Amino acid sequence: MPKQKLVVRSVRLDVDLNRRVEHAAKQQGFANSSAFIREAIRRSVSEQGAGTNGAEERIAATIDRAITEIRRVRRVQQAAFAFADAQVKMLLTCIAEPPKEAYEQAIARGKLRYDRFLKSVGMGMTGDSTDAIKELLSRGDED
């Protein structure tokens, strides 16, 4: 078998890294630090493809889980919107308009009830409920 032509590469190491390489080469039974470095390069190059595939698979699995969770949240959100829409349609269909002379008073009472409703919704929320309450209250002030 013909002898392969070797390519010489020079690598500069700081003093601490060179000391650690020499120590590891001795501990692992290599003839010298060059043999240790060659083996480390071989391992790195051969494992690089396998490591990348594993990382890609983990990232893909994480993205798939996130997409599944987003779909679940979207379905819940759509169901909540459909429920609220049905309630509003029922209320608007069944509740009569107040007479003209009581209209302004009905609007004022409605705004007060709406503010209490927003506070109740904010209190019932989990997670960032404090921020939600502040946002709901500030929206009530804008109207």
- Within a domain: residue 1? no
Range of the domain at 86: 11-95
Q: Considering its fold, how many domains does the chain have in total? A: 2
- Within a domain: residue 3? no
Q: What is the pLDDT of residue 53?
A: 66
Mean pLDDT of the chain: 82
Backbone torsions φ then ψ of 13, nearest 5 degrees:
-120, 145
Are 56 and 15 found together in one domain? yes
Are 79 and 137 found together in one domain? no
Are 25 and 70 found together in one domain? yes
Are 65 and 103 found together in one domain? no
Yes or no: say if 21 and 12 are a contact pair by the CB < 8 Å rule. no
Are 53 and 77 found together in one domain? yes
- Within a domain: residue 5? no
At 52, the pLDDT band (50, 70, 90 cuts) reads low
Are 66 and 133 found together in one domain? no
Are 113 and 91 found together in one domain? no
- Within a domain: residue 48? yes
Q: pLDDT by residue (tens digit) across 12-21?
A: 999 999 999 9
In whole angstroms, how far apart are CA 76 and each of 21, 22, 120, 121, 129?
Answer: 57, 61, 20, 17, 19
Are 84 and 133 found together in one domain? no
Q: For residues 10-31, b (16+ Cβ closer than 10 Å) or e, as one string?
A: eeeeeeeeeeebeeebeeeebe
**Per-residue pLDDT at 65 exceeds 90:** yes
Are 63 and 110 found together in one domain? no
Q: What is the pLDDT of residue 92?
A: 80
- The residue ranking higher by pLDDT, 55 or 76, is 76
Yes or no: say if 21 and 38 are a contact pair by the CB < 8 Å rule. no
The pTM is what?
Answer: 0.41
Least confident of 26-30, 89-93, 123-127: 123-127
At 45, the pLDDT band (50, 70, 90 cuts) reads confident
